[in-house]
Structure 1
Amino acid sequence: MEIKLPRYFKYVIILLGIFLAIWVLQTFKSILMPLAFALLIALLLLPFTRDLEKFRIPRALAIICSIVMVVIVLGLVIWFLSMQVMSLTSELDAIGKNFDALLMKVQDYLYHNFGIQPANKSELFRNTVGGLREISTTFVGSTISLTTGALTVITVVPIFVFCFLYYRDHLEQFMYKFVSKERRSSLNHTIDNIQLVAQSYISGLMIVIVIVSLLNSAGLLILGVKYAIFFGVFASILTIIPYIGIMIGALLPALFTLATTGHLIDAVLVVLVFMFVQFLEGNFITPYVVGSKVSINPFAAIVALLIGGEIWGAAGMIISIPMIAIMKVIFDAYEPLRPFGFLLADIDDIKDQKSGRFRKMFDKLREKAKRKRYEDEQETDL
Structure 2
Amino acid sequence: MQRFFVYLILFLAAFFLFGWYFSNITLYLIISLIIAALLRPLTNRLNDFHLLGQHIPRWLAILISYAAIVLLVVMLGLLYFPLINDQIIILSELDLEGIYLQIKEPVSRVERFLLRYELLENKPGSLFEELKKSIIEFVKSFDFGGFISGLIDLTTSFLIGTMAIAFITFFLLLENGLLRRNLLNLIPNPYFELSVATFTKVEKLLSNYLFGLMLQMLAIFSLASLGLSIAGIEYALTIALFAAIANLIPYAGPILGAVFGLIVGVSTGTFTTDSEYTYLLFKILSVFAFVQLTDNVVLQPMIFSKSVKAHPLEIFVIIFAGAKIAGIPGMIFAIPVYTIFRVSVMEFYKGYKSYRIFKIKATN
Q: Do they fold alike, i.e. is TM over 0.5?
A: yes
Contact 2:107 2:127 in 1 (8 A): no
Conserved in 2, the CA contact under 8 Å of 1:213 and 1:236?
yes
| 1:374 aligned partner | none
Q: What is the deviation of 1:264?
A: 4.3
Q: How far apart are residue 149 of structure 1 and its match?
A: 1.7
Partner of 2:358: none
Structure 2 Cα separation of the partners of residues 332 and 3 of structure 1: 15
Between the aligned partners of 1:240 and 1:107, the Cα distance in structure 2 is 38
* Change over 3 Å in CA distance of 1:57–1:193 after alignment to 2: farther
* Counterpart residue type for residue 106 of structure 1: P
% of aligned pairs identical?
23
Alpha-carbon contact 1:331-1:337 (below 8 Å) kept: no
Deviations 1:53-101 (A, max 9, x none): 3333332222222232223223322342244223223223549778656
Pairing partner for 2:134 from 127, 132, 140: 127
| 1:68-107 paired onto structure 2 within 5 Å | 68-92=67-91, 93-94=93-94, 100=100, 103-107=103-107
SS of aligned partner of 2:307: coil
Contact 1:209 1:236 in 2 (8 A): yes
Which residue identity does 1:66 align to in structure 2?
S
- Cα distance in 2 for partners of 1:324, 1:78 equals 33
The structural deviation recorded for 1:239 is 0.8
Partner of 2:57: 58
**Residues 44 and 215 of structure 1: is their aligned pair in 2 closer, same or farther, counting only changes over 3 Å?**
same
The alignment's TM-score, normalised by the length of structure 2, stands at 0.75
2:59 and 2:348 mapped to 1: Cα distance?
34
What is the letter of the counterpart of residue 236 of structure 1?
Answer: A
2:20 is paired with a residue whose SS is helix
* Residue-by-residue CA offset, 1:302-345 (whole Å, 9 max, x unaligned): 4444444455443333333322223322232221999xxxxxxx
Deviates more, 1:197-206 or 1:143-152: 197-206
Give the TM-score normalised by structure 1: 0.72
What's the counterpart of residue 40 of structure 2?
Answer: 46
Task: Return the alpha-carbon distance in structure 2 between the equivalents of residues 85 and 336 of structure 1.
Answer: 55
The answer (yes or no) to whether the contact 1:22–1:311 under 8 Å persists in 2 is no
CA distance in 2, matches of 1:336, 1:290: 23
Contact 2:206 2:336 survives alignment (8 Å): yes
- Matched with 2:224 is 216
Query: How do 1:1-382 residues align onto structure 2 when only pairs under 5 Å count?
Result: 23-55=17-49, 56-92=55-91, 93-94=93-94, 100=100, 103-114=103-114, 115=116, 119-132=126-139, 137=144, 139-181=147-189, 183-258=191-266, 261=271, 263-264=277-278, 266-288=280-302, 292-335=306-349
The alignment partner of 2:247 has SS state of helix
Q: Distance in 1 between matches of 2:215 and 2:259?
A: 23
Hey, what's the Cα distance between the residues in 2 that align with 1:312 and 1:40? 18
Q: Provide the rounded CA distance (Å) in 2 between the counterparts of 1:267 and 1:134.
A: 34
CA 1:155–1:334: 2 relative to 1, 3 Å? same
Q: Aligned to 1:292, what secondary structure does the other structure show?
A: helix
Distance in 2 between residues matched to 1:130 and 1:19, nearest whole Å: 50
User: Which is worse superposed, 40-49 or 290-299?
Assistant: 290-299
Aligned to 2:362: none
- Return 5+ residue gaps in structure 2 as ranges: 50-54, 353-364
Structure 2: distance between partners of 1:22 and 1:199? 23
Task: Summarize the Cα distance change of 1:156–1:134 in structure 2 as closer, same or farther, 3 Å threshold.
Answer: farther
Structure 1 contact 38–158 (Cα < 8 Å) conserved: yes
For 2:229 and 2:95, the matched residues in 1 are separated by 20
Structure 1 residues 237-246 or 140-149, which shifts more? Answer: 140-149
Q: CA-atom RMSD, angstroms?
A: 3.7
Structure-2 change in CA distance of 1:170 and 1:121 (3 Å): closer
Tell me the distance in 2 between the aligned counterparts of 1:186 and 1:25.
25
* Deviates most, 287-296 or 42-51: 287-296
Give the superposition deviation at 1:167.
2.2
Q: Is the 8 A contact 2:305 2:311 kept in 1?
A: no
Which residue of structure 2 aligns with residue 366 of structure 1?
none
Measure the CA separation in 2 of the matches of 1:180 and 1:19. 19
Higher relative contact order (CA 8 A, sep 6+): 1
Aligned residue pair count:
332
Q: CA deviation at 1:268?
A: 4.2
Does structure 2 retain, via aligned residues, the 8 Å contact 1:63–1:162?
A: yes
1:28 to partner: Cα distance: 0.8
1:245, distance to aligned residue in structure 2 (A): 0.6
